[in-house]
Amino acid sequence: MKKILLILSLALLIPILGFSQKYEGIQSLYVNTNEIPEFSGDRAGWFGWATSFSDMGYVMHWPYEIQGIFSRFEPADLTSRVGESITRIRYFWPGNYSPVIVGGPRARVYTGGSFVGDTYEGNMVVDFEASKPTASQGWKTITLPTPVLITGTEEVCFGVLMHWEEGHIFGTIDYDNPEQTAVYYHPLKSDLVILMDLGEDEEIFSLTDVGNEGYSWWMDAYSTLIAQCDPAKDLKVDYDEVNCDAVLTWTAPADNPGAKYNIYRDDVRIASSHATTTYLDPTLPTVGGFNPAEPHKWEVRAICSTGNETTGISVNKPLCKVCTPASNLKVEIKGNCDIAELTWDASSDATLYKIYKEDELVGTVAAPNTSFEMLGEYNKNITWKLITVCSVGEAGAITKITSCVGINENKFKFSIQPNPAHDKLTINATTPFNSVNIVNFLGQTVISQNNDTQTTTIDVSNLTQGVYFVRIVSDEGTSVQKFVKK
């Protein structure tokens, strides 16, 4: 019944955009080549069934919550790799075309397999749940917990098993033209499928055998000689407190204290033959750096005297740090509804605070300062917003709505002449005042001077045209007035 449903579901194939480049040649085992350039990446050490196709890229749907895709290799296919061990497998993820999966994909490797009738049976030697793939399209690599030796006497079958939350999708190449199938497709080897309803037994079989169609999965394995020397150990990865750079430290192999190391981030080599047991991996925007606002995996592999790598030691790290927002924002309107004073409780992670008035950025305050004052006209409801900026990212905003209510009229008053002013501005107050500041509309002080009389004249000729505030301070209080510079 499963196979009948599967055949019916083949009608649900839909195109994937971007996989239309033509490749010539028959399907074959590739080693150390770049036969599929748009998939990118170093092919050294990887092997799989090469896929030659013309204008045919598809996403496959089928009606099962759990299913897998596998590629099979007979001993004769792997003669050049006898004695090597498979340490990683990878599959091509179609990105935005992929539905939600439950948990991570299960990487599986079978050895010593064979067909019993039309069903494949083998010894499952690896069954490992990997992390969920990221949303972006591309190769997704899984490091096996235990290497699998290629003996030369047993066939090897590897792939991934998915449990979908809804929908059933995976990338494939379909050769439904009989001539293409005969030329390009290797039956029973690259198209093995496992289907499993919850509560039922698993069954692995070939789509070609069932549906007389040819399919090739985008599936690779990585094999290498396992070095006969000790690996490094005790890898630690910490983020520094300034830039969130990753600082790696580890212990040298006991039998090779002077070893050199290859270092990987997210399964991509970022350093070769590194000579010490510490390494600094810088964040973006450094060329080749990483994004600390995403989780990453670092791995260190020692290099033996033979030039081979040992098995790696790895550490998975979450985001560098969560940017904790400031709290307890307070806004007090003072003077004659013309002074706004903001205060807040500090964030331990902050490097800077941004202040917004009605969604317009009006000022910044460098940590650890936690106050901000701005002159203006605040005789109506105004929404203030404070955003905390950390070394990585910004925290969510905290807001406060204020209005000028219940403020007593300031008895300390002054006049300014002329208004508008071109060159000179004369200030006359009811009592002597101590200081005078000219502030622009963004709250920035552009002129400041001390005073000890009731009157003074200020040169404003160098100011650009616009609206400004005059703020004077006396023993009786503070008073603010607006003037226009022409």
CATH number at residue 464: 2.60.40.3080
Find the mean pLDDT for residues 412-438: 86
User: Are 332 and 452 members of one domain?
Assistant: no
Give the Cα separation of 457 and 337 in Å (integer). 25
Q: Which of 340, 343, 374 is nearest to 442 (CA)?
A: 374
User: Are 125 and 250 members of one domain?
Assistant: no
Cis peptide before 187 (omega within 30 of 0): no
> Between 77 and 7, whose confidence is greater?
77
- In terms of Cβ atoms closer than 10 Å to its own Cβ (0-12, 13-18, 19+), residue 366 is exposed
Residue 209 located in a structural domain: yes
User: Are 98 and 219 members of one domain?
Assistant: yes
Question: In the chain, how many domains are there?
Answer: 4
* Residues contacting residue 296 through CB under 8 Å, at least 6 positions apart: 246, 265, 266, 290, 316, 317
Give the model confidence (pLDDT) of 20-79 as tens digits: 222 222 233 333 233 333 333 344 678 887 554 433 344 455 556 777 888 889 898 888
For 19, list phi and psi in degrees, rounded to 5: -125, 55
Contact 398, 405 (CB under 8 A): no
Percentage of the chain lying above the pLDDT 70 cut: 74
Q: Point out the least confidently predicted range of 6-15, 295-304, 377-386.
A: 6-15
Report for 56-65, 372-381, 433-442, 457-466: range of highest mean pLDDT? 457-466
Query: 202, 224, 246 — which closes off a domain?
Result: 224
Find the mean pLDDT for residues 421-436: 87
Give the Cα separation of 425 and 470 in Å (integer). 10
> pLDDT band for position 131 (50/70/90)?
confident
User: Are 164 and 238 members of one domain?
Assistant: no
pLDDT for the residue 99: 58
Report strand pairing: 246-251 vs 278-281. antiparallel
- Which CA distances in Å does 391 have to 239, 242, 244, 284, 470? 12, 7, 7, 12, 37
Coil vs helix vs strand at 4:
helix
Q: With 80 as the cut, is the pLDDT of residue 412 above it? A: no
Contact 142, 159 (CB under 8 A): no
Query: 165, 191, 224 — which closes off a domain?
Result: 224
Length of the chain: 486
User: Are 200 and 333 members of one domain?
Assistant: no
In the block, residue with structure tokens 């706004």: 340
Find the mean pLDDT for residues 434-450: 82
In the block, residue with structure tokens 């950390």: 390
CA dihedral 73, 78, 83, 87 (to 10 degrees): -50
Q: Over the Cα atoms of the chain, what is R_g?
A: 34
Give the model confidence (pLDDT) of 188-231 as tens digits: 777 788 876 555 667 788 776 665 555 667 788 988 877 667 89
* Residues contacting residue 165 through CB under 8 Å, at least 6 positions apart: 99, 100, 101, 102
Find the mean pLDDT for residues 436-446: 80
Find the mean pLDDT for residues 93-120: 77
User: Are 261 and 333 members of one domain?
Assistant: no
Residue 251 located in a structural domain: yes
User: Are 311 and 207 members of one domain?
Assistant: no
- Which CA distances in Å does 201 have to 67, 69, 125? 12, 16, 18
Residue 434 located in a structural domain: yes
pLDDT for the residue 442: 67
CA 101 to chain centre: 19
In the block, residue with structure tokens 């179609």: 94
pLDDT for the residue 227: 67
- Which CA distances in Å does 157 have to 122, 148, 189? 8, 11, 9
Where residue 384 sits, what CATH number does that domain have? 2.60.40.10
User: Are 298 and 351 members of one domain?
Assistant: no
In the block, residue with structure tokens 């497998």: 89
Give the model confidence (pLDDT) of 251-299 as tens digits: 999 888 999 999 999 888 899 999 999 999 998 877 788 888 788 999 9
User: Are 61 and 192 members of one domain?
Assistant: yes
User: Are 306 and 371 members of one domain?
Assistant: no
Q: With 70 as the cut, is the pLDDT of residue 182 above it? A: no
Contact 52, 185 (CB under 8 A): no
Residue 409 located in a structural domain: no
Q: Dig out the tokens for 254 from the structure.
A: 């006991």
What b/e sequence results for 409-418 when a residue is b if at least 16 CB atoms lie within 10 Å of its CB, and e otherwise? eeebbbebee
Contact 91, 219 (CB under 8 A): yes
Give the Cα separation of 486 and 476 in Å (integer). 31
Residue 407 located in a structural domain: no
Residue 322 located in a structural domain: no
Residue 408 located in a structural domain: no
pLDDT for the residue 285: 77
User: Are 313 and 254 members of one domain?
Assistant: yes
Q: Which of 91, 88, 221, 226 is nearest to 144 (CA)?
A: 88
User: Are 35 and 17 members of one domain?
Assistant: yes
If residue 178 lies in a helix (H) or strand (E), which one and from where to where? helix 178-184
Residue 138 located in a structural domain: yes
Q: With 90 as the cut, is the pLDDT of residue 247 above it? A: yes
CA angle 66, 69, 74 (to 5 degrees): 140
Q: How far apart are the first and last CA of the chain?
A: 87
Domain span including residue 382: 327-402
Query: 347, 380, 402 — which closes off a domain?
Result: 402
pLDDT for the residue 310: 84
pLDDT for the residue 445: 84
